[in-house]
Amino acid sequence: MRETTYDVGGRKIFAAETGEGPAVLLLHGGGPGASGVSNYARNIAELAKEYRVVVPDLPGYGRSTKGIDAADPFGDLASGIRALLDELDLEKAHLVGNSYGGACALRLALDTPDRVGRMVLMGPGGIGTTRALPTPGLNSLLNYYGGDGPSRLKLEKFIRNHLVFNAADIPDSVIDERYRASLDPEVIAAPPLRRPSGPGAVRTLVKMDFTRDRRLSRLPVPTLVLWGTRDKVNRPSGGRMLAERMPNCDLYLVANTGHWVQFERAHLFNRLCADFLAGRR
């Protein structure tokens, strides 16, 4: 894979790239220690058989510049990735987003639908979040840097108890790698994924719930939503919310699967994703 760090709007965005064909950006989730290549370790090579696969570290994560606009985090992520498209000289690209990355993809599509070809979302964030209390899984994620601070035990409990359906599917090496990455001092000082606070918190919360955005019902981008039926981080009912509101949205519920569809059910995900992006289904 080719690795490049781009200067984008005053900050650096790291991206790995491989393959040839229509461009597909894989946008990772927002858990502690997350990064692009680690999030899509079971998908990149397969998708690269047919696509030009670009895997960035989102702003605030991995080898990209830390710090996110707390007043509009999804908008800030979308702006960063849209600027990356400009750096890559891409007028339009397909977007694949897991969780936090799904929220980034959806916000980018809502703001500039002409920049997105097709979109695949896996348990995206920001769906109905003002209509119910946070799930235990999301609370576990948000509390990682609080209290007595980050620890490997905290991270292991989040990953094995909340992130996936089958805890035995996660090697210790994945937890070790994520834990080391989660200890970045800049991230500890200002975690990119946190509860909105302060005078503008309510406004931020509303802005982060896409079901409150009237543009959703007019979004023309063909979209495939994949959601694990055993997702403990973002409620699977969010899939139905999107399917009912978006005019060109297909919904696929994945049995006995948690929040990490692309990892837990990689073979199924790779086939569905490749076919959908190519317009074969």
Which residues does the annotation mark as catalytic? 259
**Alpha helix ranges (H) inside the chain:** 36-39, 44-47, 73-87, 100-111, 136-142, 152-158, 172-182, 185-189, 201-207, 237-245, 261-264, 266-277
CA distance 242 to 193: 22
Identify whether the C-beta of residue 19 lies closer than 8 Å to the C-beta of residue 49: yes
What does the buried/exposed string (b/e) look like for 92-103 if buried means 16 or more CB atoms within 10 Å of the residue's CB? ebbbbbbbbbbb
CA distance 95 to 192: 21
Residue 171 Cα to chain centre, angstroms? 21
Identify whether the C-beta of residue 15 lies closer than 8 Å to the C-beta of residue 46: no
Which of 81, 85, 88 is closest to 104 using CA atoms?
Answer: 81
Identify whether the C-beta of residue 116 lies closer than 8 Å to the C-beta of residue 95: yes
Which of 9, 36, 67, 63 is closest to 188 using CA atoms?
Answer: 67
Q: What number of other Cβ atoms are within 10 A of residue 80's Cβ?
A: 23
Give the chain's radius of gyration (CA, Å): 17
